[in-house]
Each structure stands twice: as structure tokens, then as C-alpha cells.
Amino acid sequence: MMKIQASTTLRIEPMRTIQNILFPVDFSPSCAAMAAFVKRGASIFRARVTLVHVFDLYSHAVQLYVRPPSEVAEEQEILARQKLDSFLKSEFPVGECPRILLSDDAATQIAQLARTNGFDLIIMPTHAGVFRRTLLGSTTAKVLNDTDCPVLTTQHAETISPRQLEHREWVCAIDLNADSERVLRFASQAAKDVHANLTLVHVILASGAELLVQLDLEERLQSAKREAARRRIEELQSSAGSSARVSIGIGAIKDMLTEEARRLRADVLVIGRSPHSGVSGRLRDLSYAVVRDSPCPVLSV
């Protein structure tokens, strides 16, 4: 008798958007405060975490005048390696989470490492204080501008611990430019990966019309802009395979975005960066303002 073998169906899981997370550390209180946040994010995405520390030989320039550079470099590397291997050891066991030690300019090395090793996400804290003076000159700002992969920045972790990451509500800012579909595709897939609700927010700038005679015309123009934006967003969602909720508002872009994120108690606010660094950089003043004032972590893609 011929034996009939039951057929089996091979289940192929879809590729996850984020599989490898890079966590730059400088042993500061803000990095220590980030540990639970990064660990939770890795658990949600089922991603692997790699810690990287970049030490600067020239921060000990005085020693270079009295000792051979090679001797100072070797000593600093040994000290940096010891600190790196012991930092957050219980949260990120050395056997499970690789630790990479580099030297030279921190932002340059982090961006290069992310590029060559194919990291999907960098998670870094911002700095407290006057944002334009502290963040723009910081490693975080340079990484935001120079790196190719998405960067998740949290609230100012020097003064507060990042709130627990739940990933129930995501908000994606969409401005309908040529790069909007790329941003939407990423946000849509990442939100699906973590089973989060996604809301798209588009803001139409208010013209500030003051004369009463202009109010009727202004209302009609805004209504036409809303309808045009809604049609364009439908096209983008169709192309990206997205079915997110849509919120279209009129006002100041930064204020509307942060208010919507606050209203929805969003876990993440996704904003787009230029895919090319160029002369003026990937981020503009508006993006920095959103990162500064957002009530939740900002994912810049």
C-alpha cells in the first residue's frame, strides 16, 4: 500500500523593520537612565542590542606632552575597555550584547559603524538645557545629521527617566513632499511590527489672515487644502500598503504635532529626515524644535 505523506506548509515570517539596535554610551547619568528604555525597545522589536563607546585620546592632551603618544593611547584604551565592559552589565549581558570600543570623533565613528555594520536603529538621549546651544553642538545632533539609519531620541534623560515604552500609539508627521512615501512606509511597517496603532498627522500652515473681508476666502482655501491633502494621503497610503488613521490640522506645525502626540499619549513620534545630508544637513530648525518639545521619543527616519 502506498503511504501518503501529509504535506506541510512552511511558515515564513515577514522581515522585521528593526533587528539590530546600536546604543552609544558615554557612561553618563543620561545613558544609565536610558538602559530600561533601550531594553524594553529591544524586547518589543525582538532586536539585538550592541553597545558602542568612542573615546577621545586628545581629551588627555596634557599627557601627550610628557609621555609618548602610543603609551597614552594604550592606557586610555585599556581604561575605556574596562569601563565599557562593566557598564550596564546586568541590563545588557556581555555574552548577549556585543560591546564595541572605538576612538576619534564620536559622531563620525557612530555614523560609520551604523553604516558599515548595517544597524537598523540608533537610540540616544538628548541633552537638557537650552536646546539650540547644547544639542546642536553635541554628539547626538551630529549623529542625527550624519547617519543614514533611523535615530530614536528620547526626552531629556539627564533630568527625567524616559517613560516606559509601550508602543500602543504611534504618530507619524507627513508633509506630502517627495520623501513622504518613504517615511510612511517605514512608520507603517514598524508600527505593524510592534502591533501599535498609527496616526498620520498633516499640518496646513495658517496664513494669518486678519481682515474680516478675507475670512470667507480663507475658509474656502483651507477647506480646499484639506481636501487636496486628504486625497494625496489616500494615494500615499495605497502605495505604501498603509491604513492608518489621518488627522489634518491647521496651525503651527511644531505645535500641532506635539499637541497631537500629547493628546494620543503617543509612545513614538515619527518624523522624516532628508535622505541626503547635503550642505545644510538632514535636519532643519523645525525638526530640532520637534525633538526638543515632543512629549514622547522622536524617531527620525
Could you give the CA distance from residue 41 to residue 194 in angstroms, rounded to a whole number? Answer: 10
Is residue 280 very low, low, confident or very high in pLDDT (cuts 50, 70, 90)?
A: very low
| Helix pair 139-146, 106-116: axis angle to 10 deg | 40
Phi-psi region of 173 (alpha: psi -120 to 50; beta: other; left: phi over 0): beta
Q: Residue 78, Cβ neighbours under 10 Å: how many?
A: 10
Segment 18-77, tens digit of pLDDT:
999 999 999 988 888 889 889 988 998 999 999 999 987 766 555 555 667 677 778 888
Residue 220 has what pLDDT? Answer: 77
Q: What is the mean pLDDT of the chain?
A: 82
pLDDT at 276 over 60: no
* Neighbouring residues of 181: CB distance < 8 A, sequence distance ≥ 6: 236, 239, 240
Looking up cell 593611547, which residue turns up?
73
pLDDT at 200 over 90: yes
Could you give the CA distance from residue 121 to residue 152 in angstroms, rounded to a whole number? Answer: 7
Segment 129-163, tens digit of pLDDT:
444 444 444 788 888 888 989 999 886 555 555 66
Q: Which of 216-220, 240-244, 254-258 shows the lowest mean pLDDT across its residues?
A: 216-220
Could you give the CA distance from residue 187 to residue 266 in angstroms, rounded to a whole number? Answer: 13
pLDDT at 115 over 60: yes
Q: What is the DSSP string of 96-156?
A: TS-EEEEES-HHHHHHHHHHHTT-SEEEEE---S-HHHHTTTSHHHHHHHH-SS-EEEES-
Higher pLDDT, 134 or 17: 17
- In CATH terms, 169-300 corresponds, of 3.40.50.620, 3.60.40.10, 3.55.50.30, 3.40.50.2300, to 3.40.50.620
Query: Region 277-283: what's the mean pLDDT?
Result: 47
Do 174 and 269 touch, CB atoms closer than 8 A?
no
Q: Where in the chain is the domain with CATH 3.40.50.620?
A: 20-154, 169-300
Q: Residue 79, Cβ neighbours under 10 Å: how many?
A: 12
Q: Quick one: fold of 20-154? A: Rossmann fold (3.40.50)
Do 101 and 53 touch, CB atoms closer than 8 A?
yes
pLDDT at 290 over 50: yes
Nine cell digits for residue 258: 506635539
